[in-house]
Chains A and B, each alone.
Chain A
Amino acid sequence: MTQTSDRIGEDEDAPGVVKKFMFVNRKAPYGTIYALEGLEVVLISAAFDQDVSLAFLDDGVYQLVKGQQTKGLEVKNFSPTYRALEGYDVEKLYVEREALEARGIREDQLLVPVQVVSAAEMAELMEQQDLIVGF
């Protein structure tokens, strides 16, 4: 990454503040840049020791499908990054059951362990957050 000017880590003026950040992914991984640039924000937020979770809704569930092949598109396959999230202590990944079912995707086709939740349960999770950031 080129973010050499980033101030990584805890901010000196706001020590010890931990907020619940939920990043909401609604878009397919390719076709637009939202999924890729959204994931970059997730990785940075992990460096700030925040309580981070990810939600996958709508076409966003395609971001987690195994076996992505992007060679024909001539874009980078960034799906391995989702596997690296665990190493950043980002382990709360929630996937909406209705979104999977509508697209005929089974949980065993996803490339990382997730918690599959209903839309109603997802709403409850969102209710508990300090921030919801959608991409």
Chain B
Amino acid sequence: MNFGLLINEGPYNHQAADTAYQFARAALAKGHRIQRVFFYNDGVNNATRLTEPPQDDRHIVNRWSKLAVENSVDLVVCVAAGLRRGLVEDNLAPGFRISGLGQLVESGIRADRFVVFGD
């Protein structure tokens, strides 16, 4: 099955980013495809390369980057939501790209299942 994911909450502040990542990993392990992960609202903060968590904690941003590289997952950050929160190309972590909300809607159209992570 082909999944589209939407993440609406920031890393560390909220469980949504962790749950979405674990969902993506589990789906891929079962042979499903992740068509796209779209980051919106405070979810855009999952994509900043400036993130430096304590060493004994998980690195949520690097985890996404690794997932993108190893599984060719398309990680898309909303340009407008990103600009509001200071997320631009210069501080974008590897594996992410910035694009418009059209990519969210297109993911909903193309994916067999569209799963939203947030409150």
Contacts and interface: CB of A to CB of B under 8 A. Distances in A.
A47 B102 contact: yes
Q: Is the interface of B mostly helix, strand, loop or mixed?
A: helix
B105 A50 contact: yes
Interface residues on A, range: 20 to 34
Contacts of B99: 5-7
A2 interface: yes
A34 B41 contact: yes
Interface in A27-48: 33-34, 37, 40-41, 44-45, 47-48
A11 interface: yes
19 contacts: A2-B80, A3-B100, A4-B79, A5-B100, A6-B102, A14-B106, A17-B110, A34-B8, A34-B41, A37-B40, A40-B80, A40-B101, A41-B40, A48-B102, A48-B105, A133-B114, A134-B118, A135-B8, A135-B118
Contact of B109 (A17, A33, A41, A132): A17
Interface residues of B, number: 24
B102 to A, nearest CB: 4
A5 to B, nearest CB: 5
